Structure 1
């Protein structure tokens, strides 16, 4: 597991054995959400949510979108192509 980004004290992680499509797990405070990144152009899209509020999900998606290039690059470094 590789922390690709820290958002509001939460970890956005990529798993080395992850599968396509490119995605990130946001973990912390007893919650987890998975966002498909839709590299390279986005926008990130919520795929799974475990206990984050709707308001938090929107904030997380916005922050992931603002850092999409970095996240997609890190995905590519670990897994190769985005598709």
Structure 2
């Protein structure tokens, strides 16, 4: 489970066997969510509060390119 970064206790990561389209998983303790990357949209929520979703969405939007670079490097994809 490659971790891209951790901010505010949220771990932004993807799974080694993940699939396209590009997305990122966000985990904090027992709660988690999945967001598509282009565009940033909530795909699945397992316990994040609305305020946390808003925070995480803004972090993903600010770091879209970094997340995509990590994804592409790990999965050997051309950008």
- TM-score > 0.5, shorter chain as reference: yes
More RCO (CA 8 Å, sep 6+) = 1
Cα deviations across residues 42-77 of structure 1 (Å, max 9, x unaligned)? x41110000000111011000111111100100111
d(CA) in 2 for partners of 1:81, 1:26 = 24
Distance 1:29 1:20, change over 3 A: same
- For structure 2, list consecutive stretches of 5 or more residues without a partner in the other structure: none
Large movers: runs of 4+ above 3 Å:
none
- For structure 1, list consecutive stretches of 5 or more residues without a partner in the other structure: none
Counterpart position of 2:6:
6
TM-score by length of 2: 0.90
User: RMSD value over aligned CA atoms?
Assistant: 1.3
